[in-house]
Structure 1
Amino acid sequence: MAPRIGLESSFFLRFLNFYNEFLDWLWIDETYFRTQDKIIREEFGQDFPNLKELVKDTSLMFINSNPFLELTRPTSNKIIYIGGLVDDMASEESKKLDEAINFYEAKEGAVLFSFGSLTDTTKLNERMLKSIMGAFRRFPKIHFIWKVDNSTVNNNLKMFESATNVHNFEWFRQPAILVGLFWIMGADNISGSPTFRQRTFRQWNFQHPNTRAFITHCGQNSLTESARAGVPIIGIPLFGDQFYNCIVGETRGLGVQVDISHLKESNGENVLVEALEKILYQPKYQQNAKIISKKLKLTPFSPTERLVKWVEFAAEFGDLPELNLPGEKEMNWFVYYSLDVILFSIIVLAILFWVAFKCFKWILLSIINSWFTKIREEEKKKK
């Protein structure tokens, strides 16, 4: 699970996120580790170390992300960010390709659309497909490259044939498309129609540097690839960390978010059109994407260099205990959250308020008694 809220959120969302984190911790500690321990010890023997302790004793933890694509939060010195490592390798592979030809002549550029390699696009219902295709048809001068399963196209052939600016493929080299050089591999022509543009491609290298936007599920790799390429996003998160990644993109000004449930509604087409208009025609998203891209590219040491250097360092020195955060043995949860300090502070404040109240009450009563005494004395004099 991953947080679905940003730095500025309502009390209700923060309340949900708090208990989401608690349940996440409960699941990892009480379910995941115990289940894994049982499986591992059945395979390697009962003397195999506790998995939770092994995790604590790791020398380093490599994270497939980048600090510029994270919300600010406390972290450990053992965490090394190597987000973009796959992009480095993709760029090197692209350079080896000899031939470059034009894929299409897009008058206003192109938009890439992919829900990642794990998403089964046949699960998109007819209402959602109509919203998506309807939105694409309303931008006739822009070409849309959509990674979609052949079976989805076969089952909705007329809908796909009606959109002359939509090009669909089962697989393509996503990082290379975003940076301008790409290699598309598709299946055989899955329809018999001469008007249908699903073609057979085998190891062709295409060049199109004018990718205007990326409609994405906001997987970690997709967010990193689009940021490094300087391409703004329309995030449609589906599950897991994708909600958090999408919020990061919004917070950094890289794009906007669309709730996938809105695509199922009657106005789903308009929702997607509105998002596309923002990304395509409001310069701030393109400008922010270019700035983030430059920051990622000029960050001292590439992801590959960080990975290699830190692995060599860990191999040389081992556990690196100097970088350990205090654990349960050194600091229990009561101390970790400073609850003892908070409780002590509350008690001290309560005592101070009580003393102040008593003093105020004594002073007030003294003034009142003095006032009544004065009144009684004046009445006696009158008598």
Structure 2
Amino acid sequence: MLEVSNSQVIFNKRVAETLLQGNHSVTLIMVRPYDKKKPKVDIDPRITVKHVDALVEGIKADDWEKEQAKMIYQDIPMWDSRQRNMMKKMSMAMTGYCEKLVQNKEFLKWMADEKFDVVYTHMYDFCGIGLNHVIGVKAWVWLNSGQMMDWVADQMGVPIIPSYVPPMLMESHSAMNFYERTKSFIGLWLFRAIFPRMVPASETEVFRKHISPDFPDLYELSKQCPLVMVNSNELYEMARPTLHKIVNIGGLGMRFEDAKPLEKNFQTIVDSAKKGVVVFTFGSVTRMELMPEDWKASMMAAFAQFPDYQFILRYEGEDLEQIRPKNVHLSKWLPQSDLLKHPKTRGFISHGGYNSVQEALNSGQPIMTIPLFGDQPRNAKMAQQLGFGVNVRKTGLCTETVVAALKEMLENEKYNNVAKRISGMVKKKPIKPEELLLKWTTFLAEFKI
């Protein structure tokens, strides 16, 4: 897996730790593609962790994040040159780190000598599929840390019906109007025409250059995948066709027990809330301190209109100290799970990342989304369609829209009731994701399907 964010490391750690429960011997290969600080995630010491540096020249993590932040807080069309340049850089980074790994003969020998029974490869790119082919492991799993990626569905033969299954990067849900269905159809057509020529093609050339001129095309090789595991759950995922080899493990490793006691500083804030607490974070990748100044001012002004609620923000900057109202509290780290499960918490403000949406449901909290990029607009629409989320589009973010969304989430009990109902369904689902992961892994290891 790539060490690109805390959320990705946490999901893969949950997979690894679940496999430990089935008495499997687990090795977690963590690849660092650029000079980003290693995520601070505690991993069970029984797991063998193999850190591999595959640093790509010319890519600085801090510069990359700042450039990305400038774009994600704006409304930039996919065909804009800035978007194309960012996609080109991402493709170069994927190909660059892959070439570093393929050239690392010591690493390839180590992988072959380990004689793995089952290999999990991440959905970010196709390099892991090629490496697995090099060492000859037939039993492998294509692991999706969020919803099933469009290219995974397409390669597995899962029907993508554009009239009610929008592309992952499209801001829509299954109930689309004619205009949205047209966009969905065009988006699917463009994806199928363009994507295979990007990362899969360039990474295939890496293997043909360093392993064998006859190395199979990675995009075609991916079709041989025997099993796909998806960090999703049919109880809240958009309705779509599926296949027997698609296994949903959404909610894996998330605990349902009550919140642990809060540290004193957080407990003091919670105790001071007359009506409740609202937790606000944009996740582990997006840097909130790089938000536009008008966003910061609008949010602070909006939060000030809810003096009976205490707002707790994960925020690493210092610039809000002078403008924040008394009911807004900043911290560089949050005990997020324990705060969301606290009985005084009334809502969650998020960018709409899939892990954040799942954590809101796991905690039974309504969510106010401000989607920024990637699959977040689609996730926000999903929460809205299911009835536990309200959505603020970044193009219309101002004090008035934030106030209106907060009033709807906090004062309309519908959102809280739906969130609690779905949370209860997930908690009492007859077959747990941990059981699915363990039984399918054991089955795959035995029969090499």
TM-score when scaled to structure 1? Answer: 0.68
Shift of 1:44: 3.6
Change (3 A) 1:134 1:41: same
Matched, 1:232 2:353: no
Relative to structure 1, the CA distance from residue 42 to residue 177 in structure 2 (aligned partners, 3 Å threshold; closer, same or farther) is: farther
Write out per-residue CA displacement over residues 332-375 of structure 1, whole angstroms, 9 at most, x where no aligned residue: xxxxxxxxxxxxxxxxxxxxxxxxxxxxxxxxxxxxxxxxxxxx
Shift of 1:46: 3.3
Further displaced range: 235-244 or 40-49: 40-49
- Please say which of residues 62-71 and 25-34 is displaced more in the overlay: 25-34
Structure 2 residue aligned with 1:177: 339
- 1:237-248, aligned counterparts within 5 Å? 237-248=371-382
Relative to structure 1, is the Cα distance of residues 126 and 60 closer, same or farther in structure 2, using a 3 angstrom cutoff?
same
Question: Cα gap change, 1:116/1:43 in structure 2, threshold over 3 Å: closer, same or farther?
Answer: farther
Q: How many Å apart are 1:21 and its aligned residue?
A: 1.7
Secondary structure at the counterpart of residue 7 of structure 1? coil
Answer whether contact 2:388 2:419 (CA < 8 A) is retained.
Answer: yes
Aligned match of 1:25: 192
Q: Which residue matches 1:166?
A: 328
* Partner residue of 2:350 out of 211, 216, 230: 216
Alignment-derived partner of residue 315 in structure 2: 148
Question: Structure 2: how far apart are the matches of 1:40 and 1:286?
Answer: 51
Verify the 8 A CA contact 1:4 1:17 in the aligned structure 2.
no
1:258/1:176 CA distance change after superposition, 3 Å: same
Does 2:173 align with 1:6?
yes
TM-fit CA distance, 1:59: 1.5
Pair 1:256 & 2:423 matched: no
Q: Distance in 2 between matches of 1:164 and 1:78?
A: 52
Map of 1:37 onto structure 2 = 204
Distance in 1 of aligned mates of 2:237 and 2:188: 17
How far the C-alpha of 1:217 sits from its partner, in A, is 0.8
Cα deviations by residue, 1:282-304 (Å, 9 ceiling, x for unpaired): 11111111110011111122222
Question: 277-286 vs 47-56, which deviates more?
Answer: 47-56
Alignment counterpart, residue 446 of structure 2, candidates 316, 323, 336? 316
- Give the one of 409, 413, 420 matched to 1:283: 413
Structure 2: how far apart are the matches of 1:99 and 1:216? Answer: 21
SS in 1 for 2:420: helix
Residue type of the partner of 1:127? D
Q: Deviations over 1:158-184 (max 9, x none)?
A: 112xx111111122242332223xxxx
Per the alignment, in what secondary structure is the counterpart of residue 42 of structure 1? Answer: helix
1:79 is aligned with what amino acid? I
Shift of 1:2: 2.5
Following superposition, the deviation at residue 99 of structure 1 comes to 7.8
Match of 1:49 among 213, 216, 229: 216
Instruction: Measure, in 2, the Cα distance between the counterparts of 1:126 and 1:99.
Output: 31
Bigger radius of gyration? 1
In structure 1, how many angstroms separate the alpha carbons of the residues matched to 2:423 and 2:210?
A: 46
CA distance in 2, matches of 1:12, 1:99: 48
What's the offset of the Cα at 1:219? 0.6
Counterparts of 2:409 and 2:245, CA distance in 1: 37
* Greater per-residue helix proportion: 1
Matched, 1:302 2:436: no
Distance 1:67 1:255 in 2: 18
Over 3 Å counting, the alpha-carbon distance change for 1:218 and 1:42 in structure 2 is same
In structure 1, how many angstroms separate the alpha carbons of the residues matched to 2:253 and 2:405? 28
1:232 is aligned with what amino acid?
P
1:329 match = none
2-structure distance, mates of 1:177, 1:99: 8
1:104-127 Cα shifts (integer Å, max 9, x gaps) = 211111111111111122321111
Distance across 1 between alignment mates of 2:320 and 2:383: 32
Q: Quick one: percent identity of the two aligned structures? A: 36
Give the ranges of 4+ consecutive aligned residues of structure 1 lying more than 6 Å apart after TM superposition: 97-100
**1:69 partner SS:** coil
Structure-to-structure mapping, 1:86-97, within 5 angstroms = 86-88=253-255
1:119 aligns with one of 272, 278, 286: 286
Quick check: 1:5–1:14 contact (8 Å CA) kept in 2? no
Q: Using the TM superposition, give the Cα deviation of residue 98 of structure 1 relative to its aligned residue in structure 2, in angstroms.
A: 7.9
Match of 1:68 among 223, 235, 254: 235
3-state SS of paired residue (2:349): strand
Q: Tell me how far apart the structure 2 counterparts of residues 210 and 25 of structure 1 sit (CA, whole Å).
A: 47
Q: Which runs of 5+ in 2 are unaligned?
A: 1-167
